[in-house]
Each structure stands twice: as structure tokens, then as C-alpha cells.
Amino acid sequence: MLKLLYDGSITYLDEENGMFVGPSSSCTYIETSENKIIVDTSSRDKKKIIISNLNKLDVKLKDIDYVISSHNHNNHNGNNDLFRNAKVVRYSDGSINEFKDPEIDILWTPGHTFDSISVMYDDYVVAPAAVHRKENVLENLDLPIAIDLELSKKSIQKIVSLKKNIITGHYGMLYTSEYL
């Protein structure tokens, strides 16, 4: 089971020039036969939304086994501390190598940062670092901030080639019917 707990958002001051404030990433809950997983915990101001939506699923904070951080930005991992029993998985510290779940594949998708990862589960790719918003795919729009723009473009192409629904970082779900 996969549920989007929060869609993510960005408030733009000047969208044409990529100037924004208040970004909050999406937060995704995945339940496999072996684990309960959160991919990105969003920014601190989204704490109540995340807890409320987990409660609707009858999932307690202590039940989460893993928190997978797509990269090390506060607007993506601001609530990691809520999940005290969970093992936090990152590319940057090598903990990604300790994560094991037969239903999950973790993809290295650099560009926004060098440590950006995405999570593949069933018919979904949770790509909050690699695909900020739907326009990155639909309009071939570059990320507003990228450490390496060419790597970013290759990561987006890799994700699109999987032909799965994409959970973006800041604008919810992009369904295959919208881009294929």
C-alpha cells in the first residue's frame, strides 16, 4: 500500500526566475509485507498534517520501521525526529546499503543534490528530490536548484523511462496517463 500523506508545496515569489519561499516536500507512506516506511517527512510546519493522515490509516509513529530521506534538505526531512523507532536511510551516510525490503528498489537520482535518491514501489516512483513538480516532466522544465543540471536531466529521464506514476517533491502525483 502507498498513500501520499502530504502533496508538497512551493510558494513562488517570482516563478519565471525560480525565486521561491516556504518549500515543503511531499511525504509518502509505504506499507510492504515486511515494513512500514515513510519517504521524506516534509518541513516542520507540516507535522500535524502528517500525524493526522497517519492516524486516519491507523498507523502510529512508533510503528514506522524506516524513514527514507531523498536527500539532506530540511524541507524534506524536518520531521524525521517524529519517528523515534525508525531507522533513517540516506545515500550520504551509506545507510542505504543497510536497507532491505524485497518490494522496494532505491534508485540513485542525482542532480538536485549528489545524494538524491528515489524509491520504486509497485507502480510508483517516489522522486521528491529528482522531480520537484509535474512541469519537470510535462514541460521538460529544469529544476529551480540543481547541483548538476545534466545529471538532473538524466535522472528525470531515468524516472520517466520506468513508466510508473511519479510522486513529485512539491506537487503531488503525476500519473502515467498524464505523461505517456
User: What pLDDT, on a 0 to 100 scale, did the predictor assign at position 19?
Assistant: 64
Rounded CA-CA distance 97/99 in Å is: 6
How many other C-beta atoms can be found within 10 angstroms of the C-beta atom of residue 63?
14
Contact 5, 28 (CB under 8 A): yes
Looking at residue 15, its pLDDT comes to 67
Q: pLDDT at position 32, please? A: 98
Query: Using an 8 Å Cβ cutoff, are 17 and 4 in contact?
Result: no
- Say which residue the cell 492516524 belongs to: 55
* pLDDT computed for residue 11 by the predictor: 76
User: What is d(CA 40, CA 100) in angstroms, rounded to the nearest whole number?
Assistant: 18
Q: The whole model's pTM is what? A: 0.94
Burial 128-143 (b: 16+ CB within 10 A, else e): bbbbbbbebbeeeebb
Average pLDDT along the chain, 180 residues, taken 10 residues at a time:
95 67 91 98 97 98 98 95 97 94 98 97 98 94 89 97 98 96
- Which amino acid would we find at residue 34? E
List, in order of start, the domains of the chain with CATH numbers: 2-179 (3.60.15.10)
Classify residue 32 by burial, with Cβ atoms within 10 Å: 0-12, 13-18, 19+.
middle
Q: What is the pLDDT of residue 10?
A: 82
For residue 62, the cross-strand partners are none
Position of cell 521538460?
Answer: 140
